[in-house]
Amino acid sequence: MSESSQGPIICVDNIHKSYIMGREAVEALRGVSLCVERGEIVCLMGPSGSGKTTLLNILGGLDSPSRGHVIVDGENVVALNEEALARMRLHKMGFVFQAYNLLGNFTAEENVEAPMVLAGMKNGVRRKRAKELMSLVGLADRAHHYPSELSGGQQQRVAIARAMANDPAILVGDEMTGDLDSTTGFEIMALVSKLNQEHGTTVVYVTHDPRMSKYAHRVIQLRDGRIVTENGNGHDSAAVVKPGELIIDDDGKQIVDRGKQ
């Protein structure tokens, strides 16, 4: 691993994102700086329209900022071409959305296999891993069911198994529990916590539900495209970047200089 594996896994520095709507520019993000440590669970909260999804999509390499730096696992994401970005998402990121987004014509297990097919994994290895992942999310006995034969909570478990397919370093979740009743929502968040604890997966998730934020080590509040507060949720939180702390060399290797190293 590169030396960057010591530092935060994600850093964004003073990112801005504007959308042009006709003749108006909508400023979805107005200067957000943030680092996420390896193994951390970070929750993004804030009112509707505050920029949560925009920030999450930029952290996950699904969208790019209008300006500012984004470093993921030592890579300068803004400099990657579309192909390199797709590879980064496939191998380093697992995505879970509110709407599950499973492929309806495929069984649960085949859905879990899909990212492994894209990654070129051999048949036998892939099948075995898909079965293990179905067990990991507590659905070994539903492997051959189609999404329409599963409850919302079960579909979201399959989506989580699929997100974990290529053993991503980072799990990114946007309103993962948004369509679920609270009991099922808690079960989904408990599963995410388990993956964090047992696999060391870093998790960044968005929720508008304060009850779902308690699973995070750190809660970050957004308002009008800016970070307004951070709460450590009782855990150590050294990952806040202050202006001038973020230093990126040409390879995107050195991420944060807190004057300690």
Site of interaction with ligand ADP (CB under 6 A): 19, 21, 26, 28, 46, 48-54
In terms of CB distance, is 138 or 210 closer to Mg ion?
210
In terms of CB distance, is 48 or 183 closer to ligand ADP?
48
In terms of CB distance, is 28 or 130 closer to Mg ion?
28
Q: Please tell me the distance from the alpha carbon of residue 74 to that of residue 96, in angstroms, as a whole number.
A: 23
In terms of CB distance, is 7 or 100 closer to Mg ion?
100
**95 bridge partner residues:** 172
Residues binding Mg ion: what is the number (CB under 5 A)?
Answer: 2
**166-195 footprint of Mg ion as x/- string (CB under 5 A):** ------------------------------
Q: Is 53 in the site for Mg ion (CB under 5 A)?
A: yes
Residue 81 interaction partner, one of Mg ion, ligand ADP, none, beta carbon < 5-8 Å per kind? none
- Residue 244, φ and ψ in degrees, nearest 5: 90, -10
Residue 28 interaction partner, one of ligand ADP, Mg ion, none, beta carbon < 5-8 Å per kind? ligand ADP
Other C-beta atoms closer than 10 Å to the C-beta of 149 total 12
Residue 247 interaction partner, one of Mg ion, ligand ADP, none, beta carbon < 5-8 Å per kind? none
**How far apart are the two ends of the chain, measured CA to CA in Å?**
18
> Of 231, 216, 208, 221, which is closest to residue 48 (Cα–Cα)?
208
Task: Determine which helix (DSSP H) or strand (DSSP E) holds 131, and give its type and residue range.
Answer: helix 123-136
CA distances from 125 to 108, 116, 165, 175, 188 (A): 17, 9, 12, 32, 27
CB of residue 79 vs ligand ADP: minimum separation in angstroms?
Answer: 23
Residue 126 interaction partner, one of Mg ion, ligand ADP, none, beta carbon < 5-8 Å per kind? none
**72 bridge partner residues:** 10, 75
CB of residue 51 vs Mg ion: minimum separation in angstroms?
Answer: 9
Q: Is 156 in the site for Mg ion (CB under 5 A)?
A: no
Q: Please tell me the distance from the alpha carbon of residue 1 to that of residue 30, in angstroms, as a whole number.
A: 33
Q: Segment 242-261, which members bind Mg ion (CB under 5 A)?
A: none
> Of 259, 255, 252, 254, which is closest to residue 77 (Cα–Cα)?
252
Residue 25 interaction partner, one of ligand ADP, Mg ion, none, beta carbon < 5-8 Å per kind? none
> Of 62, 75, 93, which is closest to residue 11 (Cα–Cα)?
75
Residue 31 interaction partner, one of Mg ion, ligand ADP, none, beta carbon < 5-8 Å per kind? none
Site residues (vs Mg ion, CB under 5 A): 52-53
